Copies of this chain bind each other. A is one copy, B any other.
Amino acid sequence: MYSFRNDYSEGAHPKVLQALTETNFEQTRGYGLDPRCKKAADLIRSLCAAPEADVHFLVGGTQANLVTIEALLKPYEAIIAAHTGHINVHETGAIEGTGRKVVAVPSPDGKLTPALVESVPELHGDEHQVKPAMVYVSNTTEVGTVYSRAELAALRQCCDKHGLLLFLDGARLGSAMACGDVTFPDLAALTDVFYIGGTKNGALFGEALVFPRPREDFRWYMKRRGAMLAKGRLLGVQFQALLEDGAFLDAARHANALALRLRDGVAALGYPLPVQSPSNQQFPVFPNEVAARLRDMGYEFETDHAVDAGHTCIRLVTSWATPEKAVEDFLRDLAACK
């Protein structure tokens, strides 16, 4: 039986593990000041066509989010996020932990639009209110939807108009890029900062944070929040392995393909998937007893929410590691639940 609970249920992509093994006895300086991190950062600058970019490697997403927001915003400035945004609901108030307010905007599909951003009253406030200074988006979003290049460009224009920074949380960027039209150079051109998520796409851990334009003192912010890994080269080694010959997008394509197979199989069995997700998270709605039977069979997945007294929306997540057979087994067993 298989766990569709998350895309970080296994260890590392074989290429990553191999690279860690091969470099194990190299001696390097700590804290990211090593040749491996330099090489991975150069690679990212090249992929992004952003030769001036400042690249930092952090261990996880909550860490990346809180350190970035703390570094870029003054204490009284605020972040605009979709109500479902990871920083708003799934990080135990980590952003507020840095003293900043998250201004949450209800969004029907987990995405922000210029109109939603401009609906925030604080944009026109005074010193008795927080001052919005950043827009936070995730790609893919927390509900699996994906921003197109045009949508990001519209947000960029809106941000410029209102003096806002644009921060793209790329914890699942691989999945978004594998099914959308946004490229690394687009991200560098359209955002003020974004990250390339390793944890959910084949790394043991790691997020590569990219400031397309140079900045100076980010390492102080990282260290102060305990976000600078002693053996920093582990992050460089992993990103190099994932990015240097395309394993990153290949892994995401694999995950997406299996997710769409799940989606189509579930739909063919007559179960609705109200959210239109092209990515590696799918949200089917099952009668409660079907969800329970699947669990009894040993399948693991998260409950997203109760739809009504008799139905549950669950989340199925695929990854670089998901075997095709696990998907086929699941669909066969689901068919048997009828």
Q: Which of B11, B23, B130, B220 is the one whose CB lies under 8 Å from A234? A: B11
Contact across chains for A223 and B128 when beta carbons are under 8 A apart: yes
Residue A30 is within 8 A (CB to CB) of chain B in the complex: yes
Given A17-B21, A91-B224, the answer on whether A205 and B229 have CB atoms closer than 8 Å is: yes
Interface set, chain A 293-326, CB cutoff 8 A to B: 300, 321
Encode contact with B along A2-20: 1 for CB under 8 Å, 0 otherwise: 1101101111100001001
Interface majority SS (helix, strand, loop, mixed), chain A: loop
A204 close to chain B: CB less than 8 A: yes
Q: A245 interface residue, CB < 8 Å from B?
A: no
Closest Cβ of chain B to A190, distance in Å, is: 26
Query: With a CB–CB cut-off of 8 A, which chain B residues contact A131?
Result: 220
CB<8 Å pairs between A and B, sample of 7: A8-B230, A12-B24, A62-B223, A89-B121, A93-B99, A94-B223, A97-B99
Which of the residues B27, B89, B90, B229 comes within 8 Å of A60, measured between beta carbons? B229
User: Known: A90-B129, A93-B100, A128-B223. Is A9-B24 also a contact (CB below 8 A)?
Assistant: no
CB contacts (< 8 Å) of A200 on chain B: these are: 230
Q: A9-B27, A128-B223, A227-B226 are in contact. Are A100 and B92 (CB under 8 A)?
A: no
Q: Please, which residues of chain B bring their CB within 8 A of the CB of A31? A: 128
Copies in the complex: 4
Q: Are A230 and B205 interface neighbours, CB within 8 A?
A: yes
Bound together, the chains give a CA A122 to CA B10 distance in angstroms of 28
A76 at the B interface (CB under 8 A): yes
CA distance A98 to B220 in the complex (A): 15
Cβ of A310 to closest chain B Cβ, rounded Å: 19
Given A62-B223, A128-B223, A226-B66, CB of A97 within 8 Å of CB of B74: no
A140 within 8 A of B: no
A80 CA to B257 CA, complexed, in Å: 42
Q: B5 near A11 (CB under 8 angstroms)?
A: no
Task: Please determine whether A223 and B11 come into contact, CB atoms closer than 8 angstroms.
Answer: no
Is A332 located at the chain interface by the 8 A CB criterion?
no
Please tell me which one of the listed residues B61, B99, B217, B300 contacts residue A74 in the complex, with CB atoms under 8 A apart: B217
- A93→B66 contact, CB < 8 A: no
CB of A251 within 8 Å of the partner chain: no
A305 (CB) vs chain B CBs: closest residue: B121
Is there an interface contact between B12 and A29, defined as CB atoms closer than 8 Å?
Answer: no
Q: Are B94 and A96 in contact (CB under 8 A)?
A: no
Contact of A99 among B96, B130, B230 (CB under 8 A): B96
Task: Verify B30–A94 contact, CB threshold 8 A.
Answer: no
CA of A6 to CA of B12 in the docked complex: distance in angstroms? 27
- The 8 Å CB contact of A231, one of B17, B23, B122, B199, is B199
On whether the beta carbons of A92 and B128 are closer than 8 Å, the reply is yes
Residue picked from A26, A59, A96, A100, most chain B C-beta under 10 Å:
A96
CB neighbours of A178 from chain B (8 A): none
Q: Per-residue 0/1 for A189-200: is the Cβ within 8 Å of any B Cβ (1 yes, 0 no)?
A: 000000000011
